């Protein structure tokens, strides 16, 4: 080893005749302007340095390079731009080798593809995930990947955004060799020395031959174009990715790069890019708390009370994460059903080949069932998921208070009930919080961490730690009826019900909400979740309902007939013979017509845009109230709740980001317009008024620490 020079974001050190360039830009070596500038300079200097025969690129820390610096998108570009740096690397007269470890994603993989040789370490993750941010690989990736791995495999990589393991990347032709060395420097030096020993010179991906059969490649592009048109529902960048790969086949390399750049800039300008990047950061911000964070309590053994839909799903999530789990049910028969629900999930995964028999066994071996609460005496955290009934929950918490060990955290999975009232059944409300999972609990990413009046800071920290271990996205919420998500949902669902009574059919409303980008509309959702749950909540709320507020009875008419949705074969839709896709039901339309007559409503028509605007305005207005009351910490947390828990279209960034993008003055004007017909329901939130009238937006309230 000789020489050493620090250049800031990329440092260099020479090992004999190999110049090792280490990209060092924590936390993930993203390609900021400083990194790009340093890279361009060291590559240039290497050309002129007679002592350098080869260049080795590696990352400092856990990752090679996670991609372009996402925080720079939307700001004016700073030279040198990444495609130029990649071209410069590829043009090097001396061989350039990249050693890939940890994340080699997006622009990081593009740098590696511009290098002349690639070696990957075990555990490396390679991918072109730009599509998840509304972009396409814009530093030559759409031109080099197809030349290295063919049109089909590169389209697959770019359209799914998936990560490839080192072995899969080798098989695909994306890397040249694997190394079992744990240290990237040793692995990279060893490989580079081998290359120099055999006299290997620069070998450029632009000249690679995987697109040799143009007819086959173009047929793959056509098929991808059709798939994208049929499945990506309004997304902008997938079609641009296909166009860029078509250019890779039809155009010479340099012209293809120009086409890619033009398509990339179109994606960069699209509101979808802004929405998706907002979602990326919003999800990472939810766990950030102002002030000094408390340390979580010990978290090794979990207890669950209730083995129904949610208890079983939570058990699976915990077993998947490696926790030992004890489930308590009311009696042997209920416990057996709970156990069967857990086993059923694993049996299905086994059948689909997504789990090995050994994995199934080892997970179930960590599962214990009991009917005696005493079995929970060694649990560090106990989650209650029994019936949604205050008396039942308080009785359970009084029992837990007797058996739980000192310092154990007690959590309720209630959807709506007052966590402080539940905590009052114990002698230690500081240990109690809400952990509101979403169904199916082993799949849905969202976890509302509901903080009660007396909940201790380390109890909250333990809830966040559990989310981290379960790979969920935690969002802090305050106590109110329905917390963040269900509280807001109740309001925009009410707006939908009012439109239904005023003339829109549930099928028109569902179609308009789907056209906005949701996977399903509110009435399909209600049928899936089961109408009985909402009905029970409406009955519970009836005594406190404001008589001045309009109340639409159509859903009650269906529930009174036992039409609870899919599980009963009919709800708003018909599900003949257990069908999962519902059919429109003329009897439901007749019931709606009768209800309109009873309520003396003259039906009118709503365009899809009318429906969307009312639905969103109700959502945004209630979300503003949730913020104002401190139930949510920041607007972006509300976005995350709707993205991760309710199917809000990710490319629109969540309701708060969407409101900002259309303009708060327009949302307020809509609400004021609707208030002319129904001032009791459409009361503009004071926060919305204040922001709109001062020309501010929700984003101005986002803060992370």
Residue numbers at the binding site for ligand 3HC (CB under 6 A)? 27-28, 30, 66-71, 82, 103, 105-107, 110, 129-130, 133, 135, 137-139, 141, 281, 284
**Residue with tokens 């030992």, as numbered in its chain:** 324
- Write out the DSSP string of 291-346: SSPPPPPP---EEEE--SHHHHHHHHHHHHTT--EEEE-SSHHHHHHHHHHHHHHH
What is the C-alpha to C-alpha distance for residues 105 and 125, in angstroms, rounded to an integer? 7
| Strands 2-5 vs 573-574: parallel, antiparallel or unpaired | unpaired
90, 110, 465, 508: the catalytic one is: 110
Query: Could you give the 3-state DSSP secondary structure of residue 449?
Result: strand
Size of the site for ligand NAI (CB under 6 A): 24
Q: Where do runs of H (alpha helix) occur along 561-697?
A: 586-598, 608-628, 635-645, 655-662, 664-675, 686-693
Residue 414's binding partner among ligand NAI, ligand 3HC, none (Cβ under 5 to 8 angstroms by kind) is: ligand NAI
The structure tokens listed for 376 are 């929970």
Which among 72, 84, 122, 130 is annotated as catalytic?
130
Minimum distance from residue 310 beta carbon to ligand NAI (Å): 3
Is 394 near ligand NAI (CB under 6 A)?
no
Cβ atoms of 220 and 155 within 8 Å: the answer is yes
Q: Which does 328 bind (CB under 5 to 8 A by kind): ligand 3HC, ligand NAI, none?
A: ligand NAI
* Of 83, 306, 582, 635, the one binding ligand NAI by CB under 6 A: 306
Q: Which does 455 bind (CB under 5 to 8 A by kind): ligand 3HC, ligand NAI, none?
A: none
Q: Is 664 exposed, middle or buried (0-12, 13-18, 19+ CB in 10 A)?
A: buried
Among 24, 130, 329, 380, binds ligand NAI (CB under 6 A): 329
**Read out DSSP for 28-85?**
TT-B-HHHHHHHHHHHHHHHH-TT-SEEEEEESTT-SB--B-GGGTTSPP-SSPHHHH
Q: In this chain, which stretch among 38-46, 177-185, 295-303, 304-312 interacts with ligand NAI, using CB under 6 A?
A: 304-312
**Interface segment toward ligand NAI; rule CB under 6 A; list 115-123, 382-390, 502-510, 665-673:** 382-390
Select 485 or 684, whichever has its Cβ closest to ligand NAI. Answer: 485
| Strand arrangement, sheet containing 10-15 | 2-5, 10-15, 18-23, 54-59, 96-100, 117-121, 177-179
Quick one: 248 or 314, whose CB is closer to ligand NAI? 314
> Please, which residue, 142 or 220, has the CB nearer to ligand 3HC?
142
Residue 576 DSSP one-character state: G
Q: State yes or no: is 465 an active-site residue.
A: no
Q: Is 308 in the site for ligand NAI (CB under 6 A)?
A: yes
Catalytic annotation on 130?
yes
- Does residue 386 interact with ligand NAI by CB under 6 A? yes
Cβ nearer to ligand 3HC, comparing 30 with 611 = 30
Nearest residue relative to ligand NAI (C-beta): 308
Closest CA to 640 of 656, 626, 622, 624: 656
Q: Which is nearer to ligand NAI, 333 or 594 (CB)?
A: 333
Give the whole-angstrom CA distance, residue 201 versus residue 206.
15
Under rule CB under 6 A, residue 387 binds ligand NAI: yes
Query: Which residue stretch of 19-27, 180-188, 248-256, 299-307 sits at the interface with ligand NAI (rule: CB under 6 A)?
Result: 299-307
Burial of 144 (0-12, 13-18, 19+ CB in 10 A): buried
Q: Say which entry of ligand 3HC, ligand NAI, none residue 92 contacts (CB below 5 to 8 A, set by partner kind).
A: none
- The residues that touch ligand NAI, with contacts defined as CB under 6 A, are 305-311, 328-330, 334, 385-388, 392, 396, 413-415, 437-439, 529
Q: Which residues are identified as catalytic?
A: 110, 130
């Amino acid at each position: 080893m000789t020489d050493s020079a620090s250049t800031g974001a990329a440092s260099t050190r020479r090992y004999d005749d190999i110049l090792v360039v280490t990209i060092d830009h924590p936390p993930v070596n993203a390609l900021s302007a400083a990194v790009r500038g340093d890279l361009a300079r060291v590559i240039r200097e290497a050309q002129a340095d007679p002592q350098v025969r080869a260049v080795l690129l590696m990352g400092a820390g856990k990752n090679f390079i996670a991609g372009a610096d996402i925080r720079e998108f939307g700001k004016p570009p700073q030279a040198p731009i990444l495609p130029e740096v990649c071209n410069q690397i590829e043009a090097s007269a001396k061989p350039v080798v990249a050693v890939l470890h940890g994340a080699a994603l997006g622009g990081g993989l593009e740098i590696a593809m511009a290098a002349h040789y690639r070696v990957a370490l075990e555990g490396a993750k390679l991918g072109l995930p730009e599509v998840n941010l509304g972009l396409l690989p814009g530093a030559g990736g759409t031109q080099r990947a197809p030349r290295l791995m063919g049109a089909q495999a590169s389209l697959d990589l770019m359209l799914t955004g998936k990560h490839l393991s080192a072995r899969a990347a080798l098989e695909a032709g994306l890397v040249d060799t694997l190394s079992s060395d744990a240290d990237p420097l040793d692995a990279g030096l060893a490989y580079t020395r081998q290359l120099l020993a055999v006299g290997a010179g620069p070998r450029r991906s632009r000249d690679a031959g995987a697109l040799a059969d143009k007819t086959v490649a173009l047929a793959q592009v056509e098929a991808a174009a059709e798939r994208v048109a049929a499945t990506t529902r309004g997304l902008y960048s997938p079609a641009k990715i296909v166009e860029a790969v078509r250019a890779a086949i039809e155009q010479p390399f340099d012209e293809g790069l120009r086409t890619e750049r033009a398509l990339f800039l179109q994606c960069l300008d699209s509101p979808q890019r802004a929405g998706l990047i907002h979602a990326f950061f919003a999800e990472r911000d939810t766990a950030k708390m102002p002030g000094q964070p408390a340390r979580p309590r010990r978290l090794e053994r979990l207890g669950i009370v209730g083995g129904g839909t949610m208890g079983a799903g939570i058990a699976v999530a915990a077993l998947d994460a490696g926790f030992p789990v004890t489930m308590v049910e009311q009696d042997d028969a209920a416990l057996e059903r709970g156990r069967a629900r857990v086993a059923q999930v694993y049996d299905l995964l086994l059948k689909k080949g997504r789990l090995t028999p050994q994995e199934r066994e080892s997970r179930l071996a960590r599962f214990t069932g009991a009917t005696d609460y005493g079995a929970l005496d060694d649990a560090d955290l106990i989650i209650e998921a029994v019936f949604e009934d205050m008396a039942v929950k308080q009785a359970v918490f009084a029992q837990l208070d007797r058996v739980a060990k000192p310092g154990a955290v007690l959590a309720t999975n209630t959807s709506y009930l007052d966590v402080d009232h539940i905590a009052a059944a114990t002698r230690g409300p500081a240990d109690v919080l809400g952990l509101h999972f979403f169904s199916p609990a082993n799949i849905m990413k969202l976890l509302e961490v509901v903080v009660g009046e007396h909940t201790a800071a380390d109890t909250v920290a333990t809830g966040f730690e559990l989310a981290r271990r379960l790979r969920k996205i935690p969002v802090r919420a305050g106590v109110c009826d329905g917390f963040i998500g269900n509280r807001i949902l109740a309001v925009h669902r009410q707006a939908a019900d009012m439109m239904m009574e005023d003339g829109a059919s549930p099928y028109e409303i569902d179609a308009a909400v789907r056209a906005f980008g949701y996977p399903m509309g509110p009435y399909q959702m209600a049928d899936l979740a089961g109408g009985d749950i909402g009905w029970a909540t409406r009955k519970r709320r009836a005594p406190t309902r404001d008589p001045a507020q309009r109340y639409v009875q159509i859903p009650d008419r269906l529930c009174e007939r036992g039409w609870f949705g899919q599980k009963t074969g009919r709800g708003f839709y018909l599900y003949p013979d257990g069908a999962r896709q519902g059919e429109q039901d003329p009897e439901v339309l007749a019931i709606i017509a009768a209800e309109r007559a009873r309520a003396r409503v003259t039906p009118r028509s709503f365009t899809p845009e009318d429906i969307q605007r009312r639905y969103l305005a109700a959502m945004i207005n209630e979300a503003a109230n949730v913020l104002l009351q401190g139930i949510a910490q920041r607007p972006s947390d509300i976005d995350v709740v709707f993205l991760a828990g309710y199917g809000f279209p990710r490319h629109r960034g969540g309701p708060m980001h969407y409101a900002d993008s259309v303009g708060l003055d327009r949302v307020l004007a809509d609400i004021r317009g609707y208030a002319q017909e129904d001032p009791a329901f459409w009361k503009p939130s004071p926060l919305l008024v204040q922001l709109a009238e001062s020309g501010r937006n929700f984003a101005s309230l986002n803060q992370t620490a």
